[in-house]
Structure 1
Amino acid sequence: MRTTPTESTCHPGGDTPPASIVVLGIGNLLWADEGFGVRCIEALQRRWEFADHVQLIDGGTQGLYLIQHVQEADALLIFDAIDYGLEPGTLKEVRDDEVPRFMGAKKMSLHQTGFQEVLSLATLTGKYPQQVLLIGCQPQELEDYGGSLRPVVKAAMETALALGVAELERWGARPVERRTPLAPREAVTLDELALTAYEAQRPAAEEACRIGDDRFMPKAEV
């Protein structure tokens, strides 16, 4: 796994700490590496505590329903699986005005189309965050319904989390390692969908079709 340099290191807002920080993970847990962003949010919440002005959001595939969170943020950190055309597991940081362009460069799913529209709408309403950082990971596998993160992408999570926590610390989020485990139903991701439970409960391929039902798949011409 390798990382690429940040696209832009300057941002408006100077040295003023952001009053509201939103950390957003987007993607679909049910399609293997598409769940990277949500898994990052899950891990952040389970391992770290933050100041009261920091929100951790499991954005899933909500698209335009996320607009209020973006508009409320002075600083926005996004985790997502992004098809950069790089080696699987490669992380890339993109900042500020470059983020919408990269979100729409190679759309892998409808959620990316929706979130690109969220950023555009936030700009039109004059409520775009002063600072935005996208930490994206190149996926390896998306066509595996019910699948989990591939090992190379799961390994990249650790570096992604370290990059995210470092940025949050610079923004004044005051991250500290969590000493008290989360109570049941306190997690942003449902307990049943937590990474360990999700992977442990998956049926074998012989018991559950993972790419589609043969009865409805187009037949190849002979």
Structure 2
Amino acid sequence: MAQKALILGIGNVLWADEGFGVRCVEHVAATLAYGPEVTVLDGGTQGLYLLPFLEEADVMVVFDAVDYGLEPGTMKIVEGEEVPAFMGAKKMSLHQTGFQDVIATAQLMGYCPGELVLIGCQPVELEDYGGSLRPEVTARIPEAVAIARGWLAARGFVAAEGSTETPDLADASLRMDAYEAGRPTEDEACRSGDARFFPQSGRG
């Protein structure tokens, strides 16, 4: 039986650098042409709903924002049995707890991919609801995708330049270009809070 690969991005695009993994798989789909043996998936924060995808895969690449305690924007690559430990060492959000459980459950049931790699980026900012990826993290996306491409090629999954059609990405309106192009100003979005509750200078 032919081998299958899963390229998975997890995270939440609504929380600034939490969206790193999702934006990476979007970049894969937009720039690399893989055959039907490779699934490119925006896993978002779906947790155990991702189990069927792991069951089908022999090898897996995971992109995520991970707090390694390093300089913001730093990338770190972790493989094999170390992946769940790194994802659980310092959780940034519930999605990491959920994905750690996904891997543990897949291992328990005997269908976790035989090889996996986590391509993680140290976030700059997470506490910014509706915010963008920070420039230091955005700049790492092509590098992260290139690492994944090389890792998969070494295992027989070779990509050409082009694009991969996949139904497993977020709605087009949430993808990076459209999401950023439609961004309101901070005043319009009221992201800094309600001015009616700010202290007013000059009041006695």
What is the TM-score of this pair, normalised by structure 2? 0.90
Query: How many correspondences in the alignment?
Result: 198
Name the counterpart of 2:13.
Answer: 29
User: Any runs of at least 4 consecutive aligned residues in structure 1 with deviations exceeding 3 A, and if so which?
Assistant: 211-216
Aligned to 1:188: 169
Distance, in Å, in 1 between the alignment partners of 2:46 and 2:12 is 10
Measured on the aligned residues, the alpha-carbon RMSD in Å equals: 2.3
Instruction: Give 5+ residue unaligned stretches, structure 1.
Output: 1-16, 217-222
Identity %: 53
Matched, 1:155 2:139: yes
- Counting only pairs closer than 5 Å after superposition, residues 81-120 of structure 1 correspond to structure 2 as 81-120=65-104
Q: Is the 8 A contact 2:8 2:60 kept in 1?
A: yes
Residues 1:181 and 1:26: Cα distance change in structure 2 (over 3 Å): closer
> 1 CA distance for matches of 2:114 and 2:46?
23
- Residue 173 of structure 1, CA deviation: 1.5
Aligned to 1:39: 23
Name 1:59's counterpart in structure 2. Answer: 43
**Range 128-137 or range 17-26, more displaced:** 17-26
Partner Cα distance (1:138, 1:164) in 2:
17
Q: Is the CA contact 2:34–2:158 (under 8 Å) kept in the aligned structure 1? A: yes
Confirm or deny that 1:210 pairs with 2:191. Answer: yes
Once the two structures are TM-superposed, the CA of residue 211 in structure 1 deviates from its matched residue by: 5.8
Establish whether residue 200 from structure 1 lines up as the match of residue 181 from structure 2: yes
The answer to whether the aligner puts 1:176 opposite 2:160 as a matched pair is: yes
1:193 alignment partner AA: L
Q: Which amino acid aligns with 2:187?
A: E
Contact kept, 8 Å, 1:25 with 1:41, in 2: the verdict is: yes
How far off its partner does 1:72 sit? 1.6
Following the alignment from structure 1 to structure 2, what is the Cα–Cα distance between the partners of residues 173 and 107? 31
1:181 Cα deviation from its structure 2 partner: 8.8
Output the amino acid matched with 1:173. F
Seen in structure 2, the aligned counterparts of structure 1 residues 154 and 99 have a Cα distance that, compared at 3 Å, is same
User: How far apart in 2 are the matches of 1:211 and 1:105?
Assistant: 31
Please state how far the C-alpha of 1:111 moved relative to its aligned partner: 0.5
Structure 1 range deviating more: 141-150 or 187-196:
187-196
Contact 2:73 2:137 in 1 (8 A): yes
Does structure 2 retain, via aligned residues, the 8 Å contact 1:31–1:143?
A: yes
Q: Is the 8 A contact 1:73 1:129 kept in 2?
A: yes
Equivalent residue for 1:6?
none
Gaps of 5+ in 2: 198-204
TM-score by length of 1: 0.83
Matched, 1:73 2:54: no
